[in-house]
């Protein structure tokens, strides 16, 4: 495996969707797909890690819709990005994972409304293409970083290939804090 396949090719920036202090000692980047069942399983684990590591962890989400396997993934990612333009990305992100079995067009609009977004502006943004460009940018970043499945995690810029079950992931993060 080459270095480009184990390192995050696009450093975390202010353009990313991030929760937690930008100077946290741990930065976890997830490349995820809203329709992926494994990402759905990882969602509450990531929430628990965020809660338990608090200000020691900055969590970043980037889109990696596997459209060949998940027919609604790309549309869901674009919808999250469109809602994100109104400052409601995380509300939409959570709704998509909490309702990942229902990601059709009508449901997505309903989630945008529930997230507190102006649905007309969301639809206009999608038609304008900015959300698609953002998803494409994330996808290209994932490919350059060697992320070819979901979820793929990077910790402090290095790909984490261990178990993302809570126990092993938390142990790894703790060891990174102690090193």
Tens of pLDDT, residue by residue over 60-101, are 999 999 999 999 999 999 999 999 999 999 999 999 999 999
Q: Is 161 exposed, middle or buried (0-12, 13-18, 19+ CB in 10 A)?
A: exposed
| Assigned domain for 146 exists | yes
pLDDT of residue 5: 64
pTM of the full structure: 0.95
How does pLDDT run across 119-152, given as a tens digit for each residue?
A: 999 999 999 999 999 999 999 999 999 998 999 9
Mean pLDDT throughout 2-17?
A: 84
1 pLDDT above the threshold of 50: no
Dihedral Cα 74, 118, 40, 158, nearest 10 deg: 70
Q: Give the strand order in the sheet containing 17-19.
A: 17-19, 57-63, 26-32, 152-155, 158-160
Q: Give the helix/strand (H/E) hosting 140.
A: helix 130-145
- CA 103/CA 159 separation, integer angstroms: 29
Instruction: Establish if 1 belongs to a structural domain.
Output: no
Count up the domains in the chain and report the number: 1
What is the CB neighbour count within 10 angstroms for residue 97? 21
Range of the domain at 163: 16-178
- pLDDT computed for residue 134 by the predictor: 97
Transcribe 11-78 into DSSP letters.
---TTSEEES-TT-SEEEEEEE-TT-HHHHHHHHHHHHHHHHHGGGEEEEEEE---TTT-TTHHHHHH
Contact 92, 111 (CB under 8 A): yes
Domain CATH number, residue 135: 3.40.30.10
Residue 106 has pLDDT above 80, yes or no: yes
Q: How confident is the model at residue 2 (pLDDT cuts 50, 70, 90)?
A: very low
- The 10s digit of each residue's pLDDT in 13-59 is 999 999 999 999 999 999 999 999 999 999 999 999 999 999 999 99
């Amino acid at each position: 495996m080459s270095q480009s396949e184990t390192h995050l090719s696009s450093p975390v920036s202010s353009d990313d969707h991030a929760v937690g202090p930008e100077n946290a000692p741990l930065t976890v980047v997830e490349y995820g797909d809203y329709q992926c069942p494994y990402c759905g399983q990882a969602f509450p684990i990531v929430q628990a890690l965020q809660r338990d590591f608090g200000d020691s962890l900055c969590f970043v989400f980037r889109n990696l819709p596997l459209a060949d396997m998940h027919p609604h993934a790309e549309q869901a990612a674009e919808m999250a990005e469109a809602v994100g333009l109104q400052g409601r990305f995380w509300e939409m992100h959570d709704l998509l994972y909490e309702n990942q079995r229902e990601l059709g067009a009508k449901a997505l609009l309903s989630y945008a409304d529930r997230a507190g977004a102006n649905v007309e502006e969301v639809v206009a943004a999608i038609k304008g293409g900015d959300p698609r460009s953002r998803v494409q940018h994330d996808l290209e970043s994932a490919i350059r970083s060697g992320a070819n499945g979901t979820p793929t995690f990077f910790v402090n810029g290095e790909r984490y290939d261990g178990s993302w079950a809570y126990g092993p992931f938390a142990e790894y993060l703790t060891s990174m804090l102690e090193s």
